[in-house]
Structure 1
Amino acid sequence: MNMAFLKRKQNQLIAFFIMLFSHNCGAENTENTFVATPDFALTMSFKTVTSSSKVRCVGACAADQKCLSATYMLSTKQCLMSELPLVATAASGTPNNDAVTYSMDEWLLVFRATPGIFVDAQIAWLNGSNVTTSDVTCQVLSATECAHHYRHPVVNLWNVLGVKQVKLVFFKGQQQKYIIFDGIGSDISNWFKQSRVLNSSWSNLASDTLPFFSIEGDFERNFLTSYPYDSCESDTFYTLVLEGRTAGNRCSYEDLATYPQFFFATGDKPGKPMLGMALADLFAIFIK
């Protein structure tokens, strides 16, 4: 029986005891699974405590609402707690054979777009221009006094994160509609492709004939999933982020008081901006 097999079995047993321990500690979010990364230590933490074992270290993390990952130092018995979930740890740590890191495999909010602030949401996402990385009011998934788009700094490290899935969500009050994409091998733009759709609250989104399906979209229409254009009255979309008025022969539904605005189809089928679509309070992007 080789050492790699023994270490793998040990980590599986630890994960089992972690779930039991976190439940006994009264942790609120015990349905999350901790994933072990042996011989790896995080370099970013918000708190360090002393723990007698790996299980107690991760149990303490599970009981702390801020903690999404914990590094346990075997020799010093230090437990370093971090706010980073599994997807972000690869870019925030170093190899260390005196350590093992346990991380929750959960969604990380990396972008929250705010309507009506006259800042292009597409450019904010792709380039990080005119965004906040710290305003807490811009990280809440409901309408707030936030006056910026929020973009997590980890987005700049996309190519080394090992993103598995990306989720786009439109909120109006609570979550309304979502699309989950395959993020493996993607960059910050090409994850938004019809061929990458894994699941959606629109049942036919993955199979519909949609010539427009991209973040860059068409003119002032971004994060666009659209049927072929015919006339303004027949324009039909699942999603439409309207950054401003299209030059020239623009459509009446583009004449809004403020921009950007976020349209989403409210039913299972695509809709028209004035019929079968609603304006979202915000839209958000998550990764895991």
Structure 2
Amino acid sequence: MEIRFFSLLLLPLAFGALVPAEQFFDVLGTGLKEWRLVFRGTAYINKSMYVAYKDGSNVPAVIHDACRKTNWSQPCDTHYRNSDALNHWSNIMEVLFGIVEGGKLVKTIVFNGANTDYMNWFSESHYINSSWPDLRTEPHQFFGISGHDSVNRRFFINHNYNGCPNDAGWVAVVDSINNVPCDWEKDEAFPIIKYAAAEKFENWNTGNFRNADALVVFVKYSSGSSIVG
């Protein structure tokens, strides 16, 4: 039997409120609309993605509908922060981090959301699985949303530094173009979302890296209903 909820979805009791059903998506193609979109960071708009995620102070009051959906082929020229979800981080079972390029979700990492807050879930200790199998076995020099703070490398998973030509890792948001130390992170606009395009870490200079269009974060709650589309 096909079940549809046309108005509101009741979320975990920790929220004590109804949440619009359109905030939930079947991101992984399971047939369940169980992932709530809580953040989208857009590349090359010259607004800090870290600030947008952390407190939303550079996110406009009016957001284009495309920035809140998963039809990623549609244009979006801002960051999107679901302040209700991020400011009331509770009862989270899993967190899905995704990289979007060319209208498709090209890379994902799933994290255990239990006993986390909205800043510390993105970590080695909460890692479950990802599009990069070697994330489980290789060492990580940086693994966090704050990343390498002094050089504005955010949502940063890095394998090693050994002088700029030898730096290597998996994903980085270059959140400034002012006084960046390495050639691999220089561009004419920011934020730059760089990701290793194959299934392993790469040299940031010579490896198989691509620049993405967006970064997305979804949460799955440990109780409450899902929508079957």
Q: Same fold (TM over 0.5)?
A: yes
Quote the offset at 1:246 in angstroms: 5.9
Q: Secondary structure at the match of 1:116?
A: coil
RMSD value over aligned CA atoms? Answer: 2.2
Q: Distance in 2 between matches of 1:228 and 1:85?
A: 44
Matches within 5 A, 1:5-154: 20=1, 22=2, 59=3, 62=4, 67=6, 81-82=7-8, 84=9, 86=11, 90-93=14-17, 106-132=34-60, 134-141=63-70, 142-154=72-84
Q: Secondary structure at the match of 2:92?
A: coil
| 1:244 and 2:176 correspond | yes
Higher relative contact order (CA 8 A, sep 6+): 2
Residues 166, 150 of structure 1: CA spacing in aligned structure 2 closer, same or farther, 3 A cutoff? same
Equivalent residue number for residue 112 of structure 2: 182
Equivalent residue number for residue 171 of structure 1: 100
TM-score under structure 1 normalisation?
Answer: 0.64
Quote the offset at 1:145 in angstroms: 3.3
Quote the offset at 1:146 in angstroms: 2.0
Contact 1:85 1:108 in 2 (8 A): no
Q: Secondary structure at the match of 2:139?
A: coil
Q: Structure 2 counterpart of 1:200, which letter?
A: S
Q: Could you tell which deviates more after superposition, 137-146 or 189-198?
A: 137-146
Q: Structure 1 counterpart of 2:134, which letter?
A: N
- The runs of at least 4 aligned residues of structure 1 exceeding 4 Å deviation read none
Q: Distance in 1 between matches of 2:168 and 2:82?
A: 32
- Structure 1 unaligned blocks of 5 or more: 1-19, 23-58, 68-80, 95-103
Quote the offset at 1:207 in angstroms: 2.7
Contact 1:220 1:246 in 2 (8 A): no
Quote the offset at 1:132 in angstroms: 4.3
Q: Structure 1 counterpart of 2:17, which letter?
A: G
Quote the offset at 1:119 in angstroms: 1.0
Q: Structure 1 counterpart of 2:195, which letter?
A: F
| 1:222 and 2:154 correspond | yes
Count residues in correspondence: 201
Q: Distance in 2 between matches of 1:204 and 1:270?
A: 7
Equivalent residue number for residue 214 of structure 2: 282
Contact 1:222 1:243 in 2 (8 A): yes
Report the structure, 1 or 2, having the larger helix content.
Answer: 1
Contact 2:15 2:88 in 1 (8 A): no
Q: Distance in 2 between matches of 1:284 and 1:268?
A: 19
Q: Distance in 1 between matches of 2:191 and 2:73?
A: 15
Equivalent residue number for residue 70 of structure 1: none
Equivalent residue number for residue 132 of structure 2: 202
Equivalent residue number for residue 223 of structure 2: none
TM-score under structure 2 normalisation?
Answer: 0.80
Q: Distance in 1 between matches of 2:39 and 2:147?
A: 18
- Structure 2 unaligned blocks of 5 or more: 19-31, 221-229
- CA displacement 1:206-248 (0-9 Å, x = unmatched): 2321020011011211100001210111111111000123637
Q: Distance in 1 between matches of 2:84 and 2:154?
A: 22
Q: Structure 2 counterpart of 1:137, which letter?
A: A
Find the structure with the greater CA-based Rg: 1
